[in-house]
Amino acid sequence: MTVPAQKPQILLMDPIKLATPLLDDLSKVYDVLPLTSKSRDEFLDDCKGKYAGAQAMYRHFKGASTKVTGMFDPVLVAGLPKNLRFIAHNGAGYDQIDVDACTSAMIQVSNVPIAVDGATADTALFLLLGALRQFGPAQAALRAGTFNAGLPLSNDPRGKIFGVLGMGGIGRAFAIRARAIGMEVQYHNRTQLSPELEQGAKYVGFEELLTTSDVVSLNLPLNAKTKHIIGTKEFAVMKKSAVVINTARGAVIDEKALVVALESGEIAGCGLDVYEDEPTVSEGLIKSPKAFLLPHVGTLTVETQDEMERVCLRNIDTGLKTGKFSFTVAEQVGHF
């Protein structure tokens, strides 16, 4: 009697909530295992047992599994199933994963870059307008029953210089929106973009971006080089009328230094969707009328989340069928 070939296994660290038709199709081809572990230690034990055959993994950067596993540091990566070859990480940023450790273990890692661009840029534009126009204090006055009495004049975006630190997909999408409301766009990258990607934006040095921009938007990944890229020294050279927007990762800004800069009047305001110690937000930001805040909702739309799940599942399918992801995170390009 012929024994049926065992289906490749996918470890579903977090549930698929929207792309369920695609998951149903894949479940006909692959064995899909849900995460049942309740702690990091139990997870590592289960990687030697019930998850031992898993070849691919799906996880969400804000999923419940993050509280089970903690960071995917070298210790956790070393304890993953020995057959695991693919981690599809649902999120644009992937600072939760030690990519070097995964590369050494021959595990391919992918994130979700392009699908998040529009929703994140829309959120950033909302933060920009809220901070420049001081809509936070205006809302507070309305709810307090004072309507617009005593509110100071705010500023229009038109004619202001919009500086992008990190002109990737989200940065470019935000630049398009900023240009649409009359702002002049300049940017700083490790390397200058092609004219086609620049779309008329001016390439400037890091120092010039900080000293000349009316709005500074952070749109770069978090890593050892970018952590606290904006801190006390950087705030000191910005215009006192400058507004800082962050929809990237909280820790690219020194949050304590940001609070000091707001309180001292070193900068005029900020618009944030991300924080250094999420979900905790510093009291100084919560209390500041100069801080226009959102609780990391940049990509939390039905359409964006559906496509993010689909990107991950399609990449897992490609990886298991061909032995290679259709794309990996930047650090792994050329390694597989």
CB of 131 closer than 8 Å to CB of 243: yes
Catalytic residue chosen out of the listed positions 42, 278, 303, 335: 278
Q: What is the pLDDT of residues 232-273, one digit of tens each?
A: 999 999 999 999 999 999 999 999 999 999 999 999 999 999
Catalytic residue among 59, 60, 89, 296: 296
What is the Cα–Cα distance from 258 to 260, expressed in whole angstroms? 5
Check 85, 89, 249, 310 and give the catalytic one.
249
For the segment 156-170, what is each residue's pLDDT rounded down to a tens digit?
Answer: 999 999 999 999 999
Give exposure, 149-169, as e/b (b: 16+ Cβ within 10 Å).
eeeeebbebeebbbbbbbbbb
Output the furthest CA–CA distance in the chain (Å, rounded): 85
CA 296 to CA 275: how far, in whole Å? 8
Residue length of the chain: 336
Residue 305 — pLDDT band, cuts 50, 70, 90? very high
Q: How far is CA 193 from CA 114, 186, 209, 246, in A?
A: 17, 12, 16, 22
The pLDDT value recorded for residue 5 is 59
163-192 mean pLDDT: 97
Q: What pLDDT does 4 receive?
A: 52
DSSP H helices, the chain, are 20-27, 40-46, 65-69, 74-78, 99-104, 117-132, 135-144, 169-180, 195-198, 206-212, 232-237, 255-264, 283-287, 302-322
Per-residue pLDDT, 3: 45
Measured CA to CA, the distance from residue 170 to residue 173 in angstroms comes to 5
Q: What percent of the chain has pLDDT over 70?
A: 99
Q: Is the dihedral of CA 164, 169, 174, 179 positive or negative?
A: positive
pLDDT by residue (tens digit) across 90-135? 999 999 999 999 999 999 999 999 999 999 999 999 999 999 999 9
Checking if the pLDDT of 55 tops 80, the result is yes
Q: How many CA atoms lie within 13 A of 133 on its CB side?
A: 12
pLDDT tens digits along 263-299: 999 999 999 999 999 999 999 999 999 999 999 999 9
Q: At residue 200, what is the residue type? A: G
Task: Return the number of other C-beta atoms located less than 10 Å from residue 105's C-beta.
Answer: 15
Mean pLDDT, range 326-333, rounded to an integer: 95
- 296 as an active site residue: the answer is yes
* pLDDT value of residue 6: 83
- pLDDT band at residue 1 under the 50/70/90 scheme: very low
pLDDT given for residue 203 in this prediction? 98
Please give the backbone phi and psi of residue 217, each rounded to the nearest 5 degrees, phi first. -110, 130
- What average pLDDT is seen over the chain? 96
